[in-house]
Structure 1
Amino acid sequence: MNDSSRHHFSMKHMDYMYNADNNITLNSNSTASDINVTGIAQIMIPQELFLMLGLISLVENILVVVAIIKNRNLHSPMYYFICCLAVADMLVSVSNVVETLFMLLTEHGLLLVTAKMLQHLDNVIDIMICSSVVSSLSFLCTIAADRYITIFYALRYHSIMTTQRAVGIILVVWLASITSSSLFIVYHTDNAVIACLVTFFGVTLVFTAVLYLHMFILAHVHSRRITALHKSRRQTTSMKGAITLTILLGVFILCWGPFFLHLILILTCPTNPYCKCYFSHFNLFLILIICNSLIDPLIYAYRSQELRKTLKELIFCSWCFAV
């Protein structure tokens, strides 16, 4: 399959068209306000809104990463994984900001681009978005497993989840995410990539949901048997972490779910009138994806007093430095 029929994941350069063989082809010449999905007009959203949300989410996630690095009390496997989630959200923010700025400069005649430059930009953005999705899902599963070990193997946790092992897991996840995303962009057919992403999305969510369900049920029964005070506090802390990640998972599903449903409908009913109506809301799905990157840092801060304290110090110091 030639390059013109590749499915791009870039957030606002997606224009689904149909060729003589009814295959999906894409043109990298759309804007945020005129994405055309099989001839259906898109809901118009100002590019400035994309840019503003992208910048806010980028600043928030940078603060989270810096706070975790700065505060030694947050140097634990769980917060390392949360830090990686923040970096994954940063990929979405950076790709959105770069793409929107690129488009604004081009539309106002401040930047001249060639088709080759646009293709390279699309490829880079596609890899960043795909890497963000794969890594986010992987780290949500990793954190679920970490919380499971914390609750049911509390006495062995530090021997099971060592810092070296956590770093190894992080490196493997990022390597796998970047490699798979690059392969998706370079060597793929449309339906194959969409099917792989949808399958990965479903499998990871089922795995995480089953793990959490088992964790909460057994933790409830197990809590009745705990009599030692220090163990009760340890489990309470672990359950709080599990609840935090449950909230993160729920927000992820709400924000990314419509986009993945969009991909499913592309596979199952691309010409159905009802599906076409759903396609017309694609820009709203992109806003939800960016909002996920914006909301996650707020959840981290709300659920963790230590992280919230460090973030306040960083913001206050930055404000004083600016003054």
Structure 2
Amino acid sequence: TSTPLPPPPPHLRAGSLSAGAAPSSSIAWRCKAMPLLVNPWDIVLCSSGTLIACENALVVLVIWQNPALRAPMFLLIGSLALADLLAGLGLVLHFTCAYLLHSDSAQLLTVGLVVASFSASVFSLLAITIDRYLSLYYALTYNSERTAVFTYTMLVLLWGLSLCLGLLPVTGVNCLAEEATCSVVRPLTKNNIAVLSVSFLLLFGLMLQLYVQICKIVMRHAQQIALQHHFLAATPHYVTTRKGVSTLAIILGTFAACWMPFTVYSLIADYTYPPLYTYATLVPATYNSVINPVIYAFRNQEIQKALWLVCCGCIPASVAQRARTPSDV
């Protein structure tokens, strides 16, 4: 008689965030009989989550403790940082639950947290884009009370919608009971991931359109100032304006480079695809939450001052005297 094989490790059981190809993984387990106890890709995701949580926690702390950072722009940056902070914590908790608790309920809760957090992060990016467009298009009335009300409304809507998306796996909209309905990310169904992916593409298209309009406004303002002061193309104002437009291109390019591979892959693939492809596209998507604080928070002059005060109790003269330029858009 042959000795029965031990059960597969936790990361190959139902409920794992990355077990999109559980059947093939189980076969590999039985053939080798000596698998890795911890998936290296899960360690990468957990490490990314730790970095994301620490980085964005600093931004949330600075904005929370500084009463001067209460303008609509900073509230939206704080919303983005909070969403990324929760996303990082969700990745860490999912790793912990997958390898220590072995509970489907805990898995569903952590997956719901990750979905809600990353959704709030993307929605916050859209809200920041809308805010920047309005601040340029309605420059004279931007600082009115109406802007604050509109900002709070956007925050309520984006977090409410994100919470609804995150609750889907917990409320039973998952594929634990029927393997064939699974997407590349268990326990999300193919319909779930399709809705999320299509929503991302629509949001990206809207952000692209808004940034094109922002570029037009910035260039138009630059031309008007150039005509008034008889500036030449090589003047500092032209250089800073061009830098501002380049910054917008970096923002969109980074966002697309991080999220587009996973979005497209999740639309065309299903649970039978090798999990390696899921990891290879999902890990870069998490890096967007690592880059967000650098683009939206740490480059901001007011947040830089607050960070210097928190870290060393002083503000360098180079930071205190730096003038705001179109590159800060």
TM-score of the superposed pair, with normalisation by structure 2? 0.69
SS of match in other structure, 1:27: coil
In structure 2, C-alpha distance between the alignment counterparts of 1:62 and 1:243, rounded to whole Å: 28
Identity of aligned residues (%): 26
Larger radius of gyration: 2
Equivalent in 266, 269, 273 of residue 269 of structure 2: 266
In structure 2, C-alpha distance between the alignment counterparts of 1:192 and 1:156, rounded to whole Å: 43
Residue 203 of structure 1 aligns with which residue? 202
Query: Conserved in 2, the CA contact under 8 Å of 1:150 and 1:238?
Result: no
| Cα distance change of structure 1 residues 47 and 182 upon mapping to structure 2, 3 Å threshold | closer
Matched, 1:305 2:305: no
Query: Conserved in 2, the CA contact under 8 Å of 1:61 and 1:89?
Result: yes
| Cα distance change of structure 1 residues 294 and 315 upon mapping to structure 2, 3 Å threshold | farther
Query: Conserved in 2, the CA contact under 8 Å of 1:85 and 1:136?
Result: yes
TM alignment of 1:19-58, pairs within 5 A: 27-28=14-15, 36=21, 39=24, 45=40, 47-58=42-53
Any unmatched runs of 5+ in structure 2? 1-9, 29-35, 174-180, 182-188, 230-238, 314-329
SS of match in other structure, 2:140: helix
Any unmatched runs of 5+ in structure 1? 1-12, 16-25, 107-112, 230-235, 318-323
Q: Which amino acid aligns with 1:180?
A: L
Equivalent in 284, 287, 291 of residue 291 of structure 1: 287
| Cα distance change of structure 1 residues 290 and 166 upon mapping to structure 2, 3 Å threshold | same
Q: Which amino acid aligns with 1:193?
A: N
Q: Which amino acid aligns with 2:207?
A: T
In structure 1, C-alpha distance between the alignment counterparts of 2:197 and 2:16, rounded to whole Å: 26
Q: Which amino acid aligns with 1:154?
A: A
Matched, 1:178 2:181: no
Residue 92 of structure 1 aligns with which residue? 87
**Bigger RCO of structures 1 and 2 (CA < 8 A, at least 6 apart):** 1
Shift of 1:142: 1.4
Shift of 1:72: 3.3
* Stretches (4+) displaced over 6 A: 40-43, 236-243
Equivalent in 158, 164, 167 of residue 143 of structure 2: 158
Deviations 1:184-227 (A, max 9, x none): 65254623212211110111000110111122124312432247
Residue 101 of structure 1 aligns with which residue? 96
Residue 255 of structure 1 aligns with which residue? 258
Q: Which amino acid aligns with 2:75?
A: Y
In structure 2, C-alpha distance between the alignment counterparts of 1:167 and 1:156, rounded to whole Å: 17
Residue 223 of structure 2 aligns with which residue? 224
In structure 2, C-alpha distance between the alignment counterparts of 1:220 and 1:14, rounded to whole Å: 52
Number of equivalenced pairs? 273
TM-score of the superposed pair, with normalisation by structure 1? 0.70
Query: Conserved in 2, the CA contact under 8 Å of 1:147 and 1:242?
Result: no
Query: Conserved in 2, the CA contact under 8 Å of 1:78 and 1:143?
Result: yes
Query: Conserved in 2, the CA contact under 8 Å of 1:255 and 1:292?
Result: yes
Q: After superposing the two structures, state which structure 1 stretch, 163-172 or 202-211, moved more.
A: 163-172
Deviations 1:256-289 (A, max 9, x none): 222212211226xx76xxxx46x52322333323
Shift of 1:47: 4.5
Equivalent in 99, 108, 115 of residue 130 of structure 1: 115
Query: Conserved in 1, the CA contact under 8 Å of 2:83 and 2:120?
Result: yes
| Cα distance change of structure 1 residues 203 and 75 upon mapping to structure 2, 3 Å threshold | same
In structure 2, C-alpha distance between the alignment counterparts of 1:198 and 1:129, rounded to whole Å: 15
SS of match in other structure, 2:142: helix
Q: Which amino acid aligns with 2:155?
A: I
In structure 2, C-alpha distance between the alignment counterparts of 1:62 and 1:193, rounded to whole Å: 29
In structure 1, C-alpha distance between the alignment counterparts of 2:172 and 2:97, rounded to whole Å: 26
| Cα distance change of structure 1 residues 14 and 254 upon mapping to structure 2, 3 Å threshold | farther
Residue 6 of structure 1 aligns with which residue? none
Q: Which amino acid aligns with 1:81?
A: L
In structure 1, C-alpha distance between the alignment counterparts of 2:121 and 2:135, rounded to whole Å: 21
Q: After superposing the two structures, state which structure 1 stretch, 250-259 or 219-228, moved more.
A: 219-228
In structure 2, C-alpha distance between the alignment counterparts of 1:160 and 1:244, rounded to whole Å: 29
Query: Conserved in 2, the CA contact under 8 Å of 1:131 and 1:178?
Result: yes
| Cα distance change of structure 1 residues 126 and 244 upon mapping to structure 2, 3 Å threshold | farther
TM alignment of 1:3-14, pairs within 5 A: none
